[in-house]
């Protein structure tokens, strides 16, 4: 119920910022809504259980390539969607207030719930403003231990550089772990989940974005569809650890999403192929009929 209310209020606020929304298809949600879903999960206190989050990013995973992995019952996205919800989301802001369908912009909007204008993150070279607080920083301030894992250098050198310094300076419990590749990201995430030392694990895999830039973001491109499967196999391993080891005392939210789509060998623009994103969420949101 709380999550539904949060989403309704997020939509009201998104719509009130940009009144002319005829460009946005019905039943699609701004990607920033994920910030509120995670925050609500961590702050909700009714269940009296220990709150945890596993947040998995498949960077640059086109929405129309979901069928590549949806037939795999053991895949991460199909399992999480079947126990919870599959949400159609979008990147790139609104038509009235567009922003780049880029990596730093997309993940920043997801982490903060804010637009480029609000966060100062316009591209991969931007440094996020301190006033744009991520759900990792917020969770750490509320006593949760968090880990951010990625091999993409700009997160560490640019976008989140002030957050990283601030976490160190203020002894905040957010670890920013820069890996050298997806295999290492996967191994680090698995060991954190097995140890149970991080309450919120945020990991991004680059398989799909890397294949898209090299060969093309397309369901017709074998290297890209293979990368889709690779990402979902890695995701499934993380999901497995949680499903096997979480006790009844733990209430874990699992989210799998992407930051943007792609067209040809690039992204950043406002085409549907670049804007259309998605999110698998391990909670029933029951949104479809409520907002049309
Ligand atoms: Zn990206």
pLDDT tens per residue across span 99-113: 999 999 999 999 999
Q: Which pLDDT score, from 0 to 100, does residue 23 have?
A: 60
Q: Rounded CA gap, 34 and 200, in Å? A: 14
Å from CA of 245 to ligand 1 middle: 30
Q: Is the pLDDT of residue 15 over 70?
A: no
Chain-centroid distance, C-alpha 208: 14
Report pLDDT for 3.
53
Lookup: tokens for 8 = 């309704």
Residue 286 pLDDT exceeds 70: no
CA of 267 to the centre of ligand 1 (A): 8
Q: Can you tell me the distance from the alpha carbon of 30 to that of 102, in angstroms, rounded to the nearest whole number?
A: 15
Q: What is the pLDDT of residue 27?
A: 86
- The domain 2-281 having CATH identifier 3.40.720.10: the answer here is yes
| pLDDT (tens digit per residue) in 207-250 | 999 999 999 999 999 999 999 999 999 999 999 999 999 999 99
pLDDT at 113: 98
Grade residue 266 by pLDDT with cuts at 50, 70 and 90: very high
Ligand 1 centre distance from Cα of residue 174 (Å): 22
Mean pLDDT of 251-261: 98
Report the pLDDT value the prediction gives residue 259, as an integer from 0 to 100: 98
Q: Please give the distance, rounded to the nearest whole angstrom, from the Cα atom of residue 167 to the centre of ligand 1.
A: 24
Q: Please, which residues have CB within 8 angstroms of residue 176's CB and are 6 or more apart in sequence?
A: 148, 155, 156, 160, 163, 164, 167
Cβ proximity of 283 and 253 under 8 Å: yes
Rounded to the nearest 5°, which phi and psi values hold at 180?
-95, -15
Q: What is the pTM of this model?
A: 0.91
| Residue extents of the structural domains in the chain | 2-281
Percent of the chain with pLDDT over 70: 89
Q: Which of 117, 101, 109, 95 is nearest to 31 (CA)?
A: 109
């Amino acid at each position: 119920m709380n999550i539904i209310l949060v989403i309704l209020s997020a939509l009201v606020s998104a719509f009130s910022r940009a009144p002319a929304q005829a460009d946005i298809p019905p039943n699609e949600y701004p990607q920033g809504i994920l910030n509120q879903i995670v925050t609500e999960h961590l702050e909700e206190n009714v269940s009296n259980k220990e709150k945890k989050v596993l947040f998995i990013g498949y960077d640059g995973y086109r929405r129309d390539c979901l069928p590549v992995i949806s037939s795999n019952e053991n895949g991460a996205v199909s399992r999480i969607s079947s126990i919870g919800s599959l949400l159609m989301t979008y990147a790139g802001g609104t038509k009235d207030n567009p922003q780049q369908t880029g990596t730093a912009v997309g993940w920043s909007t997801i982490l903060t719930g804010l637009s480029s204008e609000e966060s100062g993150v316009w591209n991969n070279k931007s440094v996020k403003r301190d006033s744009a607080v991520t759900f990792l920083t917020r969770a750490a301030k509320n006593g949760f231990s968090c880990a951010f894992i990625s091999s993409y250098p700009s997160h560490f050198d640019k976008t989140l550089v002030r957050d990283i310094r601030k976490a160190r300076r203020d002894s905040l419990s957010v670890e920013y772990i820069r890996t050298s590749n997806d295999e290492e990201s996967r191994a680090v995430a698995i060991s954190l989940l097995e140890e149970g030392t991080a309450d919120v694990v945020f990991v991004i895999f680059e398989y799909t974005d890397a294949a898209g830039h090299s060969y093309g973001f397309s369901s017709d491109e074998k290297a890209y569809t293979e990368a889709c499967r690779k990402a979902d196999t890695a995701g499934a391993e993380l999901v497995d650890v949680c499903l096997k080891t979480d006790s009844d005392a733990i209430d874990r939210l699992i989210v799998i999403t992407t930051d943007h789509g792609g067209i040809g060998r690039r992204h950043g623009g406002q085409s549907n192929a670049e804007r259309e994103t998605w999110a698998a969420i391990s909670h029933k949101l029951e949104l479809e009929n409520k907002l049309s």
